[in-house]
Amino acid sequence: MSALTARHVWTYRFLYFVLGLVLITLKLLPLNLAAGGIPGPDLLVLVTFAWLVRQPNVVPLGLVLILFLLADFLFQRPPGLWTLLVILACESLRRRRLTMTEFPFLVEWGAAAMAIIGMVLLNRLVLWVLLVDLDPLGLTLAHGLVTIVFYPVVVGISKYIFGLRKLGPAELESF
């Protein structure tokens, strides 16, 4: 299968948006899925990073902005802070995308892990400077680690269920 056609790109963009809305809705439901006090992963961030690294044209900046700003308001987070951190991480991953195509999956996972750790720590630092009441540090770090651990699961689902495969350097140049 060659690079995605314009129709497929718009289909995947629509699918990403709907999937993002479903993940936000599921997080708002009172399901209490946390096992033993361990926080769940941030699936919206994972889907965004996995799809961005696999097919960067499927995850446009405007769509990320809309989804995460909506999530900020609905989850009662400081509006725009987490969104800004996600956008900065996305653009960092997008810039490194060409170098990650030739390396194994562990390099991609490491880049996503560093982005997630950076986002969690910067978010905590900014909230600390602004004197906002914070969750315990262990809980915040556990949330980041669980998110990192679930990255390969989201990549596998994206690849085998949604058919979103990693583009090679030659296919990326056509876009």
> Rounded mean pLDDT of 100-114?
88
> Rounded mean pLDDT of 119-145?
95
Average per-residue pLDDT for the chain: 90
Amino acid of residue 50: A
pLDDT above 90 covers what percent of the chain?
73
Measured distance CA(142)–CA(40) in Å, rounded? 9
Measured distance CA(108)–CA(97) in Å, rounded? 9
Q: What are 147's two structure tokens? A: 């998110």
> Rounded mean pLDDT of 29-50?
84
pLDDT tens digits for 65-89?
999 999 999 999 999 999 999 999 9
Q: Is the pLDDT of residue 45 over 90?
A: yes
